[in-house]
Amino acid sequence: MNRTSDNNSSAVSKPFTNITEHDAYEGKIIAFVNPKSGGLQGQVVFDQLKVQIGEENVYDLVKDRGPQKGLTENQHVRNLRIIACGGDGTVGWVLSALDTLQMQYMDFVSVGVIPLGTGNDMARFLGWGVGYRGEALAPVIQSLGRAETRLLDRWNIDIQATLNSGTASLKIPQPVFNNYLSFGADAQIALDFHEKRNANPSFYANRIVNKLAYGCISCNTFWNCRYLCGNIANFFELIVDGRSINEDLLRIRPDAVLILNIASYAAGTNPWEGIYDNLWCARSQTDDERFREQSCSDGYLEIIVFKHFELAHIRLGRRGQRLAQGSEIKLRFRRDVPMEIDGEPFLLGPCQMTITRKNQARMIATERSQAAQQIQSTRI
């Protein structure tokens, strides 16, 4: 969909008007670590950080039952830089805690990442690597302390019951997403993997084993009749900024739908900006002029759809089929659907879902990252 610039959004009043971002380089650094992330790597990072930035500045997310303790102890610190050590779920956990304390509205409170998860899409997007592999942390911490920041839109998810909701579950892992929301075949694969890992966690403690298992589950899902011939297009309605997209959905008949906020999905792919597969995407190539450049701070989301086989193609750098961009997305599900929010898969019952922008967070990014290359809009 066409969209106009959001650069004229009004800025939130600055609590410390005499501060510049250069001053933030001299600020305090604290870290939140999930020691159980990344196999044994989480504990290694935890121990190294205590030496590098001081034991009093490193918080155990498991022992403290979340980041609230550490944030409360530092909520009045100027120029606070926070390192979230874990996967995408850990980053979301920290950002949601900042919401609770209303710290995300303070200038120069920013969040960086040391990746310990499996997909690590936020860390990839911000330029902090695909995953920690035992390297020395001193240079990483120095970079996190001095790198510039980028604004990140965060999106609210509102769920409403419908007449056919019945007793189905309408619970979602979190009411906000930072990376993406997807449903259909890709979410079914993630859900099957999640259930198998929970049943035997010791077997899935290795990244390579996880990727192999994920590939096997993906092959099995290919033969699931629910995700052949675009059957899911019959079970939901999509409205973007007041315009129905149902006609396009029934024409394309996708097996999976992705609503994307950052330029990283499924462990580093970007299906919005990937290379065209002329056999499958030629129809949508001429439509590119309808869309503005992708940005994580402009108040718009990208919506991409896939056939099942395209989920494999995007890992080779291909793109999905661009469907729309919008600032308000409404979905009406008529039956249960597998869904994934920032790497957390679950099964959602029939309902109506509305997605709107909640706020923005300030994220620490390297100068060569995808985040740093995108156009930045004015902070809301």
The structure's pTM equals 0.87
Burial 320-333 (b: 16+ CB within 10 A, else e): bbbbbbbbebbbbb
pLDDT in tens, the chain (380 residues): 444 444 433 333 333 333 344 444 468 999 999 887 776 789 999 999 999 999 999 999 999 999 999 999 999 888 899 999 999 999 999 999 999 999 876 767 999 999 998 789 999 999 999 999 888 999 999 999 999 999 999 999 999 998 877 666 799 999 999 999 999 998 988 888 878 877 777 776 666 776 776 667 666 665 665 655 567 888 999 999 999 999 999 999 999 999 999 999 988 899 998 777 665 554 545 567 789 999 999 999 999 999 877 887 887 888 899 999 999 999 999 999 999 999 899 999 999 999 999 999 999 999 999 999 999 887 76
Q: Does this chain's domain 28-148 share its CATH topology with 155-358?
A: no
Give me the CATH topology for the region 28-148. Rossmann fold (3.40.50)
Which runs of consecutive H residues, i.e. helices, occur in 3-54? 21-24, 41-53
Spatial distance between the Cα atoms of 178 and 118, rounded to a whole number of angstroms: 17
185-199 vs 207-222: helix crossing angle, rounded to 10: 130
DSSP-derived letter for residue 294 is P
Evaluated on CA atoms 118, 119, 124, 126, the torsion sign reads negative
Domain spans of the chain, in order of start: 28-148, 155-358
The Cβ-side half-sphere exposure at 109, using a 13 Å CA radius, reads 22
Distances (CA, A) of 51 to 67, 137, 170, 196, 248: 20, 10, 44, 36, 56
The sheet carrying 337-341 orders its strands as: 321-326, 301-306, 256-260, 180-184, 337-341, 344-348
Give residue 2's pLDDT. Answer: 42
Give me the CATH topology for the region 155-358. Tumour Suppressor Smad4 (2.60.200)
